[in-house]
Amino acid sequence: MKGYRPGDIILAPFRLGNSTYSRPLVIIRVADDENLHVCPFTSRCPSDVPALECSIHHFKKGGLDLFEDSYILIHEVGTIHKKSIRTKKGTLEPDYFRTVLERVHLEL
């Protein structure tokens, strides 16, 4: 699959805690032709780990199928294979995506 870029929001299986299931992920970096570095979204505000609030206003295109804000878990950077992507949900606004990258780098 081609055409995925940093800042895109995709839906793909991702292991978080003891569970693996399809969830929204923001692409942080294209690692190579086959793999992407991503951070997952959650619908609940975590109290014990760093996260960034994300609303529909932070999207350049598309969005998530939620009525409330969601949160990007900036401490949970993982790698997924491009073939595991189920669909693209949208793209973050460039300014907001820069904020995400700055926070992810602070946490690495």
* pLDDT tens per residue, range 59-98: 888 877 666 789 999 999 999 999 999 999 999 999 999 9
User: Does residue 69 lie within any of the structural domains?
Assistant: yes
- Round to whole Å and give the CA distance between 6 and 26: 8
Query: How many of the other CB atoms lie within 10 Å of CB of 44?
Result: 9
Reported as a single tens digit per residue, the pLDDT across 29-62 is 998 889 999 999 998 888 888 899 998 888 888 8
pTM summary value = 0.89
Structural domain for 29, as ranges? 8-107
User: What is the domain-level CATH number for residue 69?
Assistant: 2.30.30.110
Reported as a single tens digit per residue, the pLDDT across 9-33 is 999 999 988 889 999 999 999 988 8
User: Does residue 1 lie within any of the structural domains?
Assistant: no
